Amino acid sequence: MRIATWNVNSIKQRLDHLATFVKSADPDVLCLQELKCMDEAFPRAEVEALGYNVVTHGQKTYNGVAILSKKPLEDIRRGLPGDDGDEQARYLEGVISTSAGVVRVASIYLPNGNPIGTPKFDYKLAWMDRLIAHARRLHGLEEPLVLCGDYNVIPEPKDAANPEAWANDALFRPESRAKFRELENLGFSDAVRACSDQPGLYSFWDYQAGAFQRNNGIRIDHLLLSPQAQDKLKSASIRKEVRGWDKPSDHVPVMVDLNID
């Protein structure tokens, strides 16, 4: 089973790119973030024509997450538990049945949190606490689980070309990184780092100042695996070439291959 995650930065603007990517990479499951549209405005017919079942949790103009799956999705959860007043569309979860059992997948668009010292940073940390609490419950199910998405967290200095430039950014603040480690310490593994410890692996490049051409990037898109998923891990990869396409998202897809039929 191939599972991919991608912040498309507007599904309507990136629909052609989506079609090109799925035809070349052929993921079984694709988690999308930053749709920037309501559910009814999602190009469902076009995506279904590519061979996918579609579940969305959208929001007008901002946020929005989706899961595309070749197999039907069940046990769908829209929204992260823990705050009934939170109207931001940032979390979507579903279960896929396979010949070997079930695989649970979540599409996550974690808050950016900037600027620090404001309610936006407080919201980010509180959202991460809710994610940790929910992930702890899911971990207890003892099933293959992949938490996919744009985490807006740079885990380590080696995950940024110029870590000093991010020192006062919410993506690299010690508080954000500590919450990410707390999530991992529940028993989840970072799929990319489970396969490679080398520096220079990035999933985001800013549109400004030729960042992509200079490889001035950061790694903030992650797939976290439960122990049952890590046991099935074959490989993980970052599709860097997608950032070089015409009018791209500032993020690229990140993929994992699992030994699951």
Q: Which residues line the annotated binding site for Mg(2+)?
A: 7, 34, 150, 152, 250-251
Cβ-Cβ contacts under 8 Å for 117 (sequence gap 6 or more):
none
CA distances from residue 135 to 2, 3, 32, 147, 206 in whole angstroms, order as listed: 21, 18, 19, 9, 30
| Annotated catalytic residue 62 | no
SS3 at position 257: strand
Catalytic position from the list 28, 150, 169, 221 = 150
Catalytic position from the list 17, 52, 91, 109 = 109
The structure tokens listed for 227 are: 């122990």
Annotation: binding site? 7, 34, 150, 152, 250-251
CA–CA gap between residue 28 and residue 256 (Å, rounded): 10
Q: Is the Cβ–Cβ distance between 120 and 111 less than 8 Å?
A: yes
Q: Where are the alpha helices (DSSP H) in the chain?
A: 15-25, 44-48, 119-139, 174-184, 191-195, 227-230
For residue 95, the one-letter residue type is V
> Rounded to 5 degrees, what are φ and ψ at 83?
-155, 95
Catalytic position from the list 57, 159, 251, 257 = 251
The structure tokens listed for 78 are: 């829209």
| Annotated catalytic residue 261 | no
| Annotated catalytic residue 251 | yes
**Catalytic positions, written as ranges:** 109, 150, 251
